[in-house]
Amino acid sequence: MTNPFKNFYHSYYIKDHITNPNIIVGDYSYYAGFYHGKHFEDNVWYLDATEEVSDKLIIGKFCSIATGVIFMMGGNQGHRHEWLSTYPFYWDDQTDWGDFVQNGYSAKGNTLIGDDVWIGASALIMPGVCVGNGAIIAARAVVTKSVEPYTIVGGNPARLIKKRFDDPTIALLQQLCWWDWPVEKIKQHMALLCSNNAEALRALRLV
C-alpha cells in the first residue's frame, strides 16, 4: 500500500513542518493539500510569527484537515464595523491622517481546534472560533461561531446539521479522551475505534 504521507503536498503530519511559534499542533494531525499545492502555514492567514502576539492557532491530536482549508487569524485586522468608517487609517503608512487616528485592531483570542476533528475541503475558520472534539466541518463551510463537540456543521455561515451520536455517547467519548491513550492502547482498541459500537464503548469504560 502506498504511504499517503510520502508526498509533501499530498499529506503530512503538520507538527513536523510548522515554523511559526503561534501555531501549535498535536500528534498525528495532518494536512492533505491535494489540490492547492501549498504548505499548511500558507493557509493560516494574518498570523504574526512573533511569540508576543496574543492570538494563536491551537490544533489538537488526530485531526484531519483537507485541502484548501483556511484559518483566518489576526483578529479584526484593524477594521471596526461599529465605527462610522471601516477603513484602517492607523495602518495606512502612505498618508498622514493626523493626530486623531486610532488603532482599530481588536484581538479575537486563540482559535482552538479540538482533538479528532475533521475539517472538509476549502472550509474557512474565522478568528477566535473554538471547534469541539470530534466535530466535523463540511466542505466550504464558513465557521463564524464555536462548534459543539461531536456535531456536524456546514453552510455559510456554518449551522448545525446534526449530532454524530446521542448525548450519553458524546459524554462518554469526552471522558475517555482516546486520543490521549498510549499508542499501544489505541492499537488494542482499534476495532472499536473503527466502528459505531456504542455499547462496546460503554463496556470499555469499566475496564
> For 178-195, how does the pLDDT look when each residue is reduced to its tens digit (9 = 90+)?
999 999 999 999 999 999
Query: Helices in 54-106 by DSSP H: which ranges?
Result: none
- Are both 73 and 126 inside the same structural domain? yes
**Considering the domain boundaries, does residue 33 fall inside one?**
yes
- Same domain assignment for residues 35 and 126: yes
- End-to-end Cα separation, the chain, in angstroms: 34
CA distance 142 to 10: 24
Q: Look up the pTM and report it.
A: 0.87
Which of 145, 25, 185 lies closest to 177, judged by CA? 185
Is the pLDDT at 64 greater than 70, yes or no? yes
* Cα 110 from chain centre: 11
Query: Is 62 in the same domain as 113?
Result: yes
Q: What is the pLDDT of residues 104-136, one digit of tens each?
A: 777 788 999 999 999 999 999 999 999 999 999
Residue 6: inside a domain: no
125 and 191 housed in the same domain: no
3-state secondary structure of 103: coil
Q: In terms of domains, do 43 and 110 share one?
A: yes
**CA nearest to 66, candidates 19, 10, 128, 134:** 10
pLDDT of residue 10: 64
Q: What band does 102 get if pLDDT is binned at 50, 70 and 90?
A: confident
* DSSP single-letter state for residue 49: S
Q: What is the average pLDDT value for the chain, to the nearest integer?
A: 87
For residues 82-117, b (16+ Cβ closer than 10 Å) or e, as one string? eeeeeebeeeeeeeeeeeeeeebeeebebbbbbbbb
- Residue recorded with cell 496574543: 54
Q: 3 in a domain, yes or no? A: no
Domain extent, residue 156, equals 12-164
Residue 196 in any domain: the answer is yes
CA 25 to chain centre: 10
Q: Dump pLDDT digits (tens) for 21-48.
A: 999 999 999 999 877 778 899 999 988 8
Active site residues: 79
Domain match, 207 and 159 both: no
Would strands 151-154 and 159-163 be described as parallel, antiparallel, or unpaired? Answer: antiparallel
**Is 2 within a domain?**
no
Shared-domain flag, residues 29 and 63? yes
